[in-house]
Amino acid sequence: MKVAFLGLGNMGLPMALNLIKAGHQVQGFDLAQTQLDAFKAACGIPAQSASEAAIDAEVIISMLPASRHVEALYLGDSGLLATANPRALLIDCSTISPKVSQAVAAAAKAKGFAMIDAPVSGGTAGAQAGTLTFMVGGEAHDVERARPLLEKMGKNIFHAGASGSGQTVKVCNNMLLGIQMLGTSEALRLGIANGMDPKVLSDIMTKSSGRNWVLELYNPCPGVMENVPSSKGYVGGFGVDLMLKDLGLATENASDLEASVPLGELSRKLYEAHSKAGNGQLDFSSVFNLAAD
Ligand code: NAD
């Protein structure tokens, strides 16, 4: 299958490489030359622009930072809805506002395109291993059309509901993750202040009722786990600014619906303070250091 992959960052690059490994012809584009070079080195076909990558693609996948990047890619006179072939299936895997996601999908539909939202969970390790969870919103037949490709990048493919539902699930999930990371960091810090070995503390809590995804797979305390960002200077992984964006999506969504998310609000403020202190590009587990302040 001819696939255009747009946005070859921490997540997009390994996802695109899994499609290449599965035998698909993947033409990719990223604004950053370093990412394009890495894609080329792994046998991807680099393009000079998003519209060049998409020109004869049967499926177009985007994996961009935020809502505004997705709007800029698809909408407007030079956006993909104006330049790509309407027979192409559009799959947006970025984490963006459910409202924006629905609006872009509606604009796509008006131009004859089928579009689904398919944000992911599982981090860069899941992207590399092809074990991501996809949370998909859109028409059932479009989800089935996408499924064979999504299965090359992920292990769990869930159809959450109508257009935008994938983003709604993702926003709820990441609000919980952001809170969990702060809570786990705080508990580890308290144990360390009591003289506990963080590895012993983590091992016991992992088998107790405080057990959670952060403790099991993404420990924020340096040296407790190998191959996680905390043991690599908090480089790579899922950026503080991306988590801040997701908590902003959650609190904005809650405010639109007059829903109450006090822990989400507090977490957003804490990640914001951490970002303002110059840590925006570090992995989000670096909030472990905020708990020390
Ligand atoms: P990233 O910043 O590493 O990558 C985004 C890439 O998009 C960058 O390389 C950037 O140059 C490129 N880009 C921006 N605008 C572009 C455009 N118009 N055309 C082509 N390329 C463009 O971010 P990431 O970590 O890969 O995350 C991507 C999305 O996935 C975000 O929405 C994030 O919230 C979500 N996400 C990330 C993780 C994670 O662990 N990193 C996990 C789940 C979901």
Do 65 and 197 sit in the same domain of this protein?
no
Q: Are residues 260 and 126 in the same domain?
A: no
- The last residue of one of the domains, among 162, 182, 199, is 162
Structure confidence at residue 199 (pLDDT) = 98
Contacts of 101 (CB under 8 A, 6+ apart): 67, 70, 92, 117, 137, 163, 164, 166, 167
- Assess whether 129 and 180 both reside in one domain: no
Longest dimension (CA), the chain: 63
CA-proximal residue: ligand 1, atom 31 (nearest): 65
CA–CA distance, 48 with 43 (Å, rounded to integer): 16
CB-based contacts of 142: which residues, under 8 Å, 6+ apart?
A: 89, 114, 115, 116
Residue with the smallest CA separation from ligand 1 atom 4 is 9
Beta-bridged to residue 3, according to DSSP, are: 26, 59
How far does residue 206's CA lie from ligand 1's centre (Å)? 31
State both tokens at 73: 């890619």
Q: What separation in angstroms does the CA of 102 have from each of 61, 137, 202?
A: 16, 9, 41
| Residue 186 contacts residue 178 (beta carbons within 8 Å) | no
Last residue of a domain, one of 140, 162, 184: 162
DSSP designation for 47: -
Residues 20 and 87 in one domain: yes
Q: Is the CB of 69 under 6 A from ligand 1?
A: yes
CATH code at position 251: 1.10.1040.10
CATH of the domain at 132: 3.40.50.720
Per-residue pLDDT tens, the chain, 293 aa: give them: 999 999 999 999 999 999 999 999 999 999 999 999 999 999 999 999 999 999 999 999 999 999 999 999 999 899 999 999 999 999 999 999 999 999 999 999 999 999 999 999 998 989 999 999 999 999 999 999 999 999 999 999 999 999 999 999 999 999 999 999 999 999 999 999 999 999 999 999 999 999 999 999 999 999 999 999 999 999 988 999 999 999 999 999 999 999 999 999 999 999 999 999 999 999 999 999 986 65
Q: Which residues pair with 26 in a beta bridge?
A: 3
Are 252 and 132 contained in the same domain? no
The verdict on 13 and 157 lying in the same domain is: yes
166: Cα separation from own chain's centroid:
12
Where in the sequence is the domain holding 157, given as residue range(s)? Answer: 2-162
Residue with token string 């695109």: 16
Total count of domains within the chain: 2
Q: Is 170 a catalytic residue?
A: yes
pLDDT at 236: 86
139 and 272 in a single domain? The answer is no
In sign, the C-alpha dihedral spanning 279, 284, 287, 288 is: negative
Is the domain of 70 the same as that of 183? no
80 plus 209 within the same structural domain: no
Half-sphere exposure of 77 (CA within 13 A, CB side): 0
For residues 174 and 157, membership in a common domain is answered with no
197 and 156, same domain (yes or no): no
Ligand 1 within 6 A of CB of 59: no
Do 20 and 73 lie in one domain? The reply is yes
Cβ atoms 120, 154 nearer than 8 A? yes
Residue that is last in its domain, among 144, 162, 180: 162
Catalytic residue among 111, 155, 170, 207: 170
* Range list of β-strands (E), 98-153: 114-117, 120-121, 132-137
